[in-house]
Structure 1
Amino acid sequence: MNRSLYTLLLHLALPLIALRLYLRGRKAPAYRLRIAERFAFQLPPLKPGGIWVHAVSVGESIAAAPMIRALRERQPGLPITVTCMTPTGSERIRALFGDQVQHCYLPYDLPWAAARFLDRLQPKLAVIMETELWPNHIHQCATRGIPTVLANARLSAKSARGYARFAGLTRPMLAEMSWIAAQTEAEAERFRQLGARPECVSVTGSIKFDLTIDRELKPRAQALRASWGATNRPVWIAASTHAGEDEIVLAAHRQLLSGQPESLLILVPRHPERFESVHVLCRREGFTTVRRSSGQPVGEGDQVLLGDTMGELLFLYALADVAFVGGSLVPSGGHNLLEPAALGLPVLSGPHLFNFLEIAAQLRAAGALQEVAGAEGLARQLQCLLIGAESLRCMGAAGIGVLRANHGALERLLDGLARLHRGG
């Protein structure tokens, strides 16, 4: 498939795209809003001539935040525009930056929409986070002489095989990239094999290792636990869970309660449209549940705190003694293992970590991560950790050590962006 065929198929798929927006809008009404932006119409006021950063959704927005803050500090007057594709990503960007950055949805990857967007924005540099590759947007940047960077780039072996099936589309797209700043050498080599120019690919590491934790976060969490009378209760968190995982997590919690009846689970579904259904599941399974969004304190008899708010994940991690990171008991590839590690928590996950293989390998080798296969394995590890203060301390310290050893990726990325921006 070449880019012309891809573009034709994308146009033919527009009715299906509209149907998908409608169906997603039934559960999350925000998908029905700002549709014109997705075609580069009715864009908000945008100052031209700055840096455009694309972060597809919540995870990428959070990963991009330290980079964006550093760019603003280095060049305070430079307009920075941050785009995304999802309402939750949009909410996160606004929560993180407010009016400090410009923001809109990224238009669909149609040549005329991409051209209209770039003609309006006229960026000097385009920075795409992690793996969000759109052939027409990249080509439109190349024809305008706009340097395009894939920052914090990751590419699993599975994804590389998928891209390789469409070499006629992938190879010229990657050849037009100005710089691919890969997280690991294995990923850098995959990009080279797929058609990226070798001189434009380098390894900078993962900027997720450069995570900075607010010093007040843990004291605030400890104060809240104390107000619940839960300072000495065993508390664990299952974060960023996907459909099919909540049942496993609740089954593990039931087993844990049989031996440690005071245990509290903080359950945080990955997608906000699932908050209500997960709450119904908790109640149906017989767990006394309080919703974080209700503002009610956790009582002595409560067994589950449902984390149904946005932008609080780090704080919810700080409330816990042990963290399980979801998207890993089902084949979704896992989520950010470094956030709980940065807070000094032992980290548990399922076996499906193909989006974070290098990070998982480092944490596992250091003794900061343990993988489990199901409810029984998860319950068994929780029981061991929650009764062993020394194990908690050792795993937590190991995780912090991994982050310290990998620090510096952000500075390497910023130096490379500065060279390209000056050259542009």
Structure 2
Amino acid sequence: MRLLYSFIWGLSLPFALFRLWWRGRKEPGYRQHIAERLGFYSRYDSTPTIWVHAVSAGETRAAEPLIRALLATYPQHQLLLTHMTATGRETGGKLFADVQNRLRQSYLPYDINWMIRRFLMHYSPQLCILIETEVWPNLIAQCQQHHIPVTLVNGRLSAKSLRKAQRMASLILPAAHAISAVAAQSNPDAERLKELGISHPIITGNIKFDVTPPIVMAERGAALRRSLGDRAVILCASTRDGEEELILDAFLEQFPLLEQPPLLMITPRHPQRFDEVAQMIEARGIAYVRRSAFDHNLVTPISEKVQLVLGDSMGEMYMYYAMADVAFVGGSLVSLGGHNLIEACAMGKPVLTGLHTFNFSEITDQAIAAHAAVRVDGARSMLREALALVGDDKKRQQMGSSAHAFFLQHQGATSRTMDILKPFIH
């Protein structure tokens, strides 16, 4: 089956390269470092290397506490951080700008044997650490051949992803069996990983709870909030395709009826959709301003006529949460599985989430049980609940305090994960 998989990858390579060029129209990062995706790299010294693969921006942010712990614990090692997306690489560059002397970033090659082989021979990592859900059959097989242990940390697997993997069992199971150690986010994740063929996953929790919110982001959020005057702010964070239309239509139904409507803020998950969402807002005649239009110091007052702010920036999610009174976490109004609500809880904000949270089912259910979050059944009910919280200072503050307590309660996953990785690093 892996031979067929490799053959299909070889046939698909021209289309994959064309897709890079096509995506590069809106995201120039996809047209950069293309040689790395084919297994060709610039000179690299022979310092002992720990390799972490974080496919995109979300995984890169999640990996931050672990990467910093690895750098602190193993000062004689370099860290190689690989990605598949341009946003992942950009996010890594910003997060780890202070340790660039010990951390190198690169794109991981496509999962074609000779490309992966060149990559492994060039960097000779002691250990491969996959973040969250990445299982590449040829990558794992080549690591086996080169005697490089593979670990999966902060592992999660939804029921939907499990069913998809089981349909390709003859391809995925050998790769799963070859993973040396697995640190799972939760008990349901661990059980599903066992069904996939991974033996003895250890439940460590989610390392993203160990992230320290940047002080500068809180300061920027406070500055942005001051520019709004006395208006409350409802944040719709990490929204996905199909959600913004629902939110904007619900906004037009409810907000014009209010004497003092809050400011709505929408931050799309993917930067290539910023312009698309702006067009949706303009088509509905909603007065808005883009985050990119603000001056750097965020001191320019926002007109009271502005009804909505479009958060068209990367790496500022903590700032958006800091300025908000209530936060809805997107990807959950439509069947996309949701996004994690840890950042909102870290900033002590009441959280709203939709019905579709299968990617983060346990953590969402736990947050709801802890009175840190409320589940809603659609965009209209989400905005109604948000408006109710804006109008009830006591309940909003209680939920915010519960959210922050929930965040603190779940810390410690990084230390437990480091214990799992220790035997593989020398």
The amino acid that maps onto 1:248 is L
Query: Is the Cα contact below 8 Å between 1:152 and 1:183 reproduced in 2?
Result: yes
RMSD over aligned CA atoms reads 1.7
1:309 is displaced (CA, Å) by 1.2
In the TM superposition, what whole-angstrom CA distance separates every residue of 1:204-252 from its partner, at most 9, and x where no partner exists? 11112223223454344223322x142x211011111112111122223
Q: 1:46 to 1:284 in 2, by over 3 A?
A: farther
Q: Structure 1: which 5+ residue stretches go unaligned? A: none
Aligned with 1:13: secondary structure?
helix
Query: Is the Cα contact below 8 Å between 1:239 and 1:326 reproduced in 2?
Result: yes
Q: Paired residue for 1:126, among 123, 128, 136?
A: 128
d(CA) in 2 for partners of 1:386 and 1:14? 51
d(CA) in 1 for partners of 2:107 and 2:199? 29
State whether structure 2 residue 228 is matched by structure 1 residue 225.
no
1:180 is displaced (CA, Å) by 0.8
In the TM superposition, what whole-angstrom CA distance separates every residue of 1:379-408 from its partner, at most 9, and x where no partner exists? 210121110011111111111222222221
2:392 corresponds in structure 1 to 388
Query: Is the Cα contact below 8 Å between 2:333 and 2:355 reproduced in 1?
Result: yes
d(CA) in 1 for partners of 2:305 and 2:161? 45
1:167 is displaced (CA, Å) by 1.4
Alignment of 1:77-226 (within 5 A): 77-98=76-97, 99-100=100-101, 101-198=103-200, 201-215=201-215, 217-226=217-226
Aligned residues: 417
The amino acid that maps onto 1:413 is T
State whether structure 2 residue 414 is matched by structure 1 residue 415.
no
1:126 is displaced (CA, Å) by 0.8
1:324 corresponds in structure 2 to 328
In the TM superposition, what whole-angstrom CA distance separates every residue of 1:22-77 from its partner, at most 9, and x where no partner exists? 33223323322222111111446465531000000000000001111111111223
The amino acid that maps onto 1:109 is D
d(CA) in 2 for partners of 1:361 and 1:332? 17
The amino acid that maps onto 2:326 is V
d(CA) in 2 for partners of 1:380 and 1:275? 25
In the TM superposition, what whole-angstrom CA distance separates every residue of 1:358-384 from its partner, at most 9, and x where no partner exists? 110100111111122223211210121
Identity %: 43
The amino acid that maps onto 1:282 is I
Query: Is the Cα contact below 8 Å between 1:256 and 1:379 reproduced in 2?
Result: no
Query: Is the Cα contact below 8 Å between 1:48 and 1:122 reproduced in 2?
Result: no
State whether structure 2 residue 26 is matched by structure 1 residue 22.
no
In the TM superposition, what whole-angstrom CA distance separates every residue of 1:310-343 from its partner, at most 9, and x where no partner exists? 1111111111101111111122211121101111
Q: 1:204 to 1:245 in 2, by over 3 A?
A: same
Alignment of 1:239-388 (within 5 A): 239-254=237-252, 255-296=254-295, 297=300, 298-388=302-392
Aligned with 1:26: secondary structure?
coil
| TM-score, with structure 1 as normaliser | 0.94
Aligned with 2:29: secondary structure?
helix
d(CA) in 2 for partners of 1:122 and 1:266? 46
d(CA) in 2 for partners of 1:260 and 1:334? 32
1:151 is displaced (CA, Å) by 0.5
The amino acid that maps onto 1:175 is H
1:10 corresponds in structure 2 to 9
d(CA) in 1 for partners of 2:352 and 2:395? 13
Aligned with 1:27: secondary structure?
coil
| TM-score, with structure 2 as normaliser | 0.94
Moved more, 15-24 or 143-152: 15-24
d(CA) in 1 for partners of 2:338 and 2:168? 25
State whether structure 2 residue 33 is matched by structure 1 residue 34.
yes
Moved more, 292-301 or 50-59: 292-301
Query: Is the Cα contact below 8 Å between 1:38 and 1:107 reproduced in 2?
Result: yes
The amino acid that maps onto 1:176 is A
d(CA) in 2 for partners of 1:12 and 1:60? 29
d(CA) in 2 for partners of 1:219 and 1:91? 22
Q: Structure 2: which 5+ residue stretches go unaligned? A: none
d(CA) in 2 for partners of 1:257 and 1:415? 55
Query: Is the Cα contact below 8 Å between 2:247 and 2:380 reproduced in 1?
Result: no
State whether structure 2 residue 60 is matched by structure 1 residue 56.
no
d(CA) in 2 for partners of 1:244 and 1:197? 38
